A and B are shown apart, each in its own frame.
Chain A
Amino acid sequence: MNTAESFAELPVAPKPPLRRFHQARWDEPIIFELSAPGRRGLAVPEPGAPLVELPETVRRAEPPKLPEMSQLHVLRHYLRLSQENLGVDLNIDVGQGTCTMKYSPKVNDRFAAAIAELHPLQHEETVQGVLEIYWRLERMLAEISGMSRVSLQPGSGSAAIYANIAMIRAYHAANGEGHRDQVITTMFSHPSNAACAKTAGYEVITLMPDADGYPDIEALRAAVGPRTAALMITNPEDTGIFNPRIREFVELVHSVGGLACYDQANANGILGITRARDAGFDLCHFNLHKTFSTPHACGGPAAGACGVSAELEPFLPGPVVTFDGAAYGMETPPHSIGKVRPFLGVTPNIVRAYAWIMAMGAEGLRQVAETAVLNNNYLMHKILQIPGASAPWDKRRVEQVRYSWQELSEETGVHSEEIGVRAADFGVHYWTSHHPYLVPEPFTLEPTESYSKEDLDEYAAILAHVASEARTDPEFVKGAPYNQSVHKIDTTSLDDPKAWAPTWRAYVRKHLS
């Protein structure tokens, strides 16, 4: 019998327009502060054989100062940290533009786990099923890109960009054209195109956008010549704008003997719509953790796929998978650049990407592309209704948009980064742009196909709310966050060599001793 006095009424009132989110705040210490001498988290099998006495020269003198904790307490600590983190499964993850934060189907994680106990150097006859997955995924990505052959070895998008550059270098060297020492890229292509080219020994020429937001074709015309090794370009670029003259770009580079390499990090909106090879590209790469759904894992493990034309096949990293109609095998191409990473590739993600495509089929991929583009244009329609938000260049967008808060910022003094931090108080992410900020006060949104109309409405409502807060109480926005695991961080010490603390031991030495 409940005798307490009533203080609330049925029915329960409707939800407020914005979610009353609060991130977990466990106030969790650093793990070393949880340590107590003598505790153990795991027991190890006894040797069962005579111990080996190590000479002093190679014997560890002092045990490592690792934490000493019982198993439950290690688990609890990490689960608390996990709760202080947002993943696709928990939030409307449309705010990490260029990252293609789509749903990673749970069932695919089971498939990834199914190969946990396979060693990469097992005899080929014991791994036919996995080699078949590699082979079939290679063939499917060749069809999707129009390319002749695919390597699934690289560990990520940037690693695939690097592998492509290495193949370009090897191709020119094999043709006696080793003197080509320049790579051309664009400011709205991922910075790794420039950075990988530089690492591979090339001088980098970066094309700036023209007045219409396209990479400047006149600048390309001026840049190409006998020193041109390759063009490395994204299309649509990170602005979301598709460059309609892309074939001309490719032909200009071809006309001077250079190669054209397509960074397809932004392929989600054009699957089955247009293909790299059809625009004349010689190489391309996909990010399997973006377009093909493998989970982003806090920044890897990821997977990259390099697609090449027939002329570049001999240079692919080795080994590649072969199929003679009966059995699957491996071979290293004759002029292979060698290893990009250990073994064949990041197999759990190869398995996931394969399963995802097999769940979609050709019609499904087309639906992915069209829906990603519809979602993006719907969200853009909502965002541009927020006073102070704009999308420079007034051009059509494919799957993402680089927006600007310039007008709002000039009016209120609140910067884009600060708006993003405040938006996180409502349980979402938001990313600005790569550096340098060509678009002032930038933010980049990419809805992908995974989110519902209701999700997009909610996301736009959050940004609209924060924008109005910036007008009414700019200091409040600048003081954010309020509903997160921690409060506003003072980052000044992170660039000071005397104060920075990249590990606990450095922190103890500099600040607690």
Chain B
Amino acid sequence: MTHPYIPNAEPGVRAEMLAAIGASSVEEFYADIPADLRLARPLDLPEPFTAEHDLVRHMKGLFDRVTDTEEALSFLGLGCYPHYVPAVCDEVNSRSEFLTAYAGEPYEDHGRFQALFEYVSMMGELLEMDVVNVPTYDGFQAAGTALRMACRYTSRSKVLVSGAVSADKLSKLRDFLSPDVEIALAPVGEGGEISVAEFDDSFAAIYLETPNVYGVVEMRGRELADLAHAHGALLVVGADPISLGVLAPPSSYGADIACGDIQSLGMHQSYGGGHAGYIATQDHEPLVAEFPSRLFGIAPTKVPGEYGFGDVFYDRTSFALREEGKEWVGTAAALWGITAGVYLALMGPQGMRDLGETILARTRYAMDALAGSVTVLHRDAIHFREFAIEVPSSAALLDGLRARGIYGGVPLDDRTVLVCVTERHSITDIDRLAAAVQEVL
């Protein structure tokens, strides 16, 4: 049978093509591969499901053995969030023209260039910054690259990183910075905010995250910006853009680089598949020069009134200069950038504000609802979307809740659980969690 995905596997056409080339068989094309490197047996792979229906049945059998966050009531966050995804986001990013395109020129792929330019422009408004990258892989990479940018910019090789970041993000930073950048950790104070004691002229940057890993909104951004600047260092702020309808953008209190993950802006949780990273600065040439990512900009065309696009300052990148470029650039997460643009256009200024207020209010409501049966940490701090609770045993509580159809939160350690509340969690959902926690305990 000719496989449905391989038109020229049909024997007649195959013979016709070989004849046109003047080859007797495809073996001729492999003549440069030495005999001792040739695999002398078929690959040992499972029997295929060539009929599409059989494949669907096979996959369904696998998916039947998962229980997702719509079947259970989930309060899981810690870097991947169950915000509502507007239908228009899915409609746009499932279009073949975007989904199956890649790296065409700004002519036949004009749409991709404009959509990504609009994404970075809307992010720029949210962040009040003039330069935003075409997305990198995720927020982890964005933080790593932002810190490396700060090190290159200041010619220093030490950074002060907030202790209130996730262990996984710290793991990424340690690996990514390890060859030549030293990481000092800023301790977390009683109230859940970071406290900076030691700082001097050897540091390239302070990395502050807000809301931080405990969901706490950091209050001393301006103070840290002043401290960094007094020592010739930069303030790098990791911020989830979904909070910026209500929270002040990092640039407003003096951040030099903002970075983070845009999964919240219209991407499904997808078992960790919805991530993309942003990095933003002001339009300051020496700092722009440190971006590894592509930057898209407006350029005029032959015809008045037409917007053309192209790469801004391409000769920073590894595409242009190989190892002499900044870090590296490659395929990352462009479609999620386009999607986040759709999301921000749908939300507009008022939508972002409304959403932020709903999340702030429900987070506070959930903290109050649980405070009766567990210890809620950092209760006096402002929280956005997440908060930590202390319990006798994280595992026991979460097992008990799971038995009741609830994914109660992410265990940060044996006694601490991180609870996440978004606009998708109704007051009824939160009340159900509170009642179940009381039952289990």
Contacts and interface: CB of A to CB of B under 8 A. Distances in A.
Contacts of A127: 66-67, 271
A346 interface: yes
Contacts of B137: 155-156, 159, 300, 341
Given A44-B355, A50-B361, A155-B333, A201 B180 contact: yes
A87 to B, nearest CB: 3
Contacts of B254: none
B273 A61 contact: no
Interface string B240-274: 00001111110011000000010000001111111
Contact of B29 (A274, A298, A377, A421): A377
Given A60-B244, A295-B100, 6 more contacts: A44-B423, A192-B330, A278-B39, A367-B6, A452-B7, A494-B297
20 contacts: A30-B121, A46-B358, A52-B364, A63-B245, A81-B115, A101-B102, A109-B94, A115-B273, A118-B66, A129-B62, A157-B331, A158-B331, A300-B276, A348-B270, A351-B59, A360-B3, A424-B105, A449-B6, A502-B312, A509-B130
B20 interface: yes
Contacts of A362: 42-45
B357 A47 contact: yes
B325 A50 contact: no
A57 interface: yes
Interface residues of A, number: 210
A291 interface: no
B353 A63 contact: yes
A83 B111 contact: yes
B219 A500 contact: no
Interface string A63-96: 1111111010011011111111111111101001
B301 A489 contact: yes
B418 to A, nearest CB: 9
B184 interface: no
Given A40-B350, A59-B246, A346-B273, A75 B358 contact: no
Contacts of B117: 30, 503-504
A279 B269 CA distance: 40
A191 B322 contact: yes
Contacts of A80: 111
A355 B117 CA distance: 34
Contacts of A377: 21, 23, 29
Interface in A444-472: 449-453
Interface residues of B, number: 209
A132 to B, nearest CB: 6
Contacts of B402: 123, 126
A45 interface: yes
A420 B27 CA distance: 32
Given A45-B423, A71-B88, A364-B50, A359 B44 contact: no
Contacts of A130: 62, 66, 271
B270 A246 contact: no
A244 B115 contact: no
B30 A373 contact: yes
A398 interface: yes
Contact of A47 (B126, B268, B358): B358
B153 interface: no
Nearest to B7: A452
A396 B29 contact: yes
A383 to B, nearest CB: 12
A322 B302 CA distance: 58
A42 B347 contact: yes
Contacts of B21: 377-378, 381
Given A121-B78, A274-B33, A488-B302, A355 B335 contact: no
A273 B27 CA distance: 10
Interface in A25-47: 27-32, 39-47
A96 B328 contact: no
Given A66-B347, A143-B43, A301 B175 contact: no
A358 interface: yes
Contacts of A162: 328
Nearest to A77: B345
B297 A71 contact: no
B249 A60 contact: yes
Contacts of B285: 497
B96, B126, B270, B275: residue with the most chain A Cβ atoms closer than 10 Å: B270
Please list the 8 inter-chain residue pairs (A to B) with the smallest Cβ-Cβ separation, ordered nearest first: A201-B179, A361-B48, A343-B272, A158-B330, A87-B100, A85-B111, A489-B308, A129-B65
Interface stretch (B138-146, B200-208, B228-236, B371-379): B138-146
B432 to A, nearest CB: 14
Nearest to A46: B358
B67 A41 contact: no
Contact of B102 (A114, A296, A376): A296
Nearest to A435: B320
Interface in A309-354: 337-351
Interface in B21-42: 21, 23, 26, 28-34, 36-39, 42
Given A47-B358, A375-B8, A487 B70 contact: no
B138 to A, nearest CB: 5
Contacts of A105: 5
Contacts of A174: none
Nearest to B263: A342
A300 B334 contact: yes
A150 interface: no
B198 interface: no
B5 A300 contact: no
B321 interface: yes
A127 B273 CA distance: 15
A349 B52 CA distance: 18
B92 A82 contact: yes
A312 B31 CA distance: 32
A491 B310 contact: yes
A509 B252 CA distance: 18
B441 interface: no
Contact of B338 (A200, A298, A302, A503): A298
B59 A119 contact: no
A453 B13 contact: yes
A489 B335 contact: no
A23 interface: yes
Interface stretch (A7-15, A402-410, A478-486): A478-486
A489 B46 contact: no
A4 interface: no
Contacts of A374: 8, 14, 17-18, 26, 29
Nearest to B347: A42
Contacts of B47: 361
Interface string B363-406: 11100000000000000001000000000000000100010000
A476 interface: no
A439 interface: no
Given A66-B126, A339-B140, A82 B111 contact: yes
Interface string B81-116: 010001010011011111111111111111110111
B354 interface: yes
B107 A486 contact: yes
A295 B43 CA distance: 25
A505 B351 contact: no
A444 to B, nearest CB: 12
A155 B86 CA distance: 25
B55, B323, B329: residue with the most chain A Cβ atoms closer than 10 Å: B323
B410 interface: yes
Contacts of B97: 82-83, 85-87, 89-90
A289 B345 contact: no
Given A117-B269, A361-B46, A85 B219 contact: no
Contacts of A488: 301-302
A506 B335 contact: no
